Structure 1
């Protein structure tokens, strides 16, 4: 193998990335994903929610997820206006 092509193959980023193993970021994402799954499966009971006038019945996890998404969007709007 030509030394020049060997050096290019190892510094291209594609071959080294596969050998890094589990990074702290990957572990954190996996732990958070597991916690989300546990949360969803523990909160499957249906709940009644009043949305101004109508009374809606939905799974509790879906109601909490919707509330979280609305809160994240409000936070993103506030951060983008300050910049």
Structure 2
């Protein structure tokens, strides 16, 4: 047996499930970019009311904060599944 065949386990992949650019990762990246474009295109000020206080802030700030909160919740739930 040659040394190259025995060093990598007989030609099998060494523990990798996929490459860097998988279809799932490309989809998530595209959705993330579209989300950021949407957020930063909405720059007007808006009134936001959460229960009682009413605040006026740029819409992109509220959208970005909501997206970050959603991403953190999703990461927390995925971590608990493993």
TM range (shorter): 0.5 to 0.7
Give 1:66's aligned residue: 66
Asked if 1:7 corresponds to 2:6, the answer is: no
Q: TM-score, normalised by structure 2?
A: 0.53
More helix by share: 1
What do the CA deviations read for 1:23-60 (whole angstroms, capped 9, x no partner)?
Answer: 21122012101101111111122212233443211221
Number of residue pairs matched by the alignment: 68
What do the CA deviations read for 1:60-80 (whole angstroms, capped 9, x no partner)?
Answer: 13334538957xx6xxxxxxx
Give 1:32's aligned residue: 31
Structure 1 unaligned segments of length 5 or more: list them.
Answer: 74-83
CA 1:4/1:34 → structure 2, altered by over 3 Å: closer, same or farther? same
Q: TM-score, normalised by structure 1?
A: 0.53
Structure 2 unaligned segments of length 5 or more: list them.
Answer: 74-82
